[in-house]
Amino acid sequence: MSIYDIEVTTIAGQPQSMSAYRGKNLLIVNVASKCGFTPQYAGLQALYDQYKTRDFAILGFPCDQFGHQEPGNEVEIQQFCSSTYNVTFPMFAKISVNGSGTHPLYKYLKGEKPGVLGTEAIKWNFTKFLVGADGTVLKRYAPTDTPEAIGADLGPLLPGGKS
């Protein structure tokens, strides 16, 4: 199994295969609208704007498993993201990242890149996974790792070299 065998649902409710992102470097993030890390949306959008023409995409997956910080439905989430942070990177339907209902994408990501001390559980919103253009899960970032800091890891991976 690879990441490209997994199906996700867009925020508009359409099924989509992760194979649509084959050949792109990805930053996959579990997001929330009412979290202390929510301002990272601005940095994520800046990163997307900077690298989207270089085979890079950010994929946002809303999650309400941490302190009920994503209470809205998909329409409300989309409206918040676009009106507050001008988000244009792909957003998806709300999912679970932990527990018995964990979405297959997050089962895969956590299995490929466990966290500190080998634990697979996602600790909080805005945990990020960097996936290479070949589908390899390269790195797992903590919620406190800012998009700006992650940008330093992206440059060398993307077509065209450094920054």
CATH number of the domain where residue 112 is located:
3.40.30.10
* Within a domain: 94: yes
- Domain with 150, as residue range(s), is 3-157
Query: 3-class SS at 49?
Result: helix
Sign of torsion, CA 74 84 68 151? positive
* Within a domain: 162: no
* Within a domain: 46: yes
Q: What confidence tens digit (pLDDT) does each residue in 96-120 have?
A: 999 999 999 999 999 998 877 777 8
Q: What confidence tens digit (pLDDT) does each residue in 54-88 have?
A: 999 999 999 999 999 999 999 999 999 999 999 99
Q: Please list, in sequence order, all residues whose beta carbon lies within 8 angstroms of the beta carbon of residue 57, skipping any fewer than 6 positions away.
A: 21, 24, 25, 26, 27, 48, 89, 90
* Within a domain: 152: yes
* Cα–Cα distance for residue pair 107/101, rounded to 1 Å: 10
* Within a domain: 127: yes
* Cα–Cα distance for residue pair 128/163, rounded to 1 Å: 20
* Within a domain: 71: yes
Q: What confidence tens digit (pLDDT) does each residue in 31-63 have?
A: 999 999 899 999 999 999 999 999 999 999 999
**Structural domains of the chain, count:** 1
Query: 29, 35, 63, 105: which is the annotated catalytic residue?
Result: 35
Does the annotation count 63 as an active-site position? no
* Within a domain: 163: no
Residue in the structure block whose two tokens are 């009412």? 34
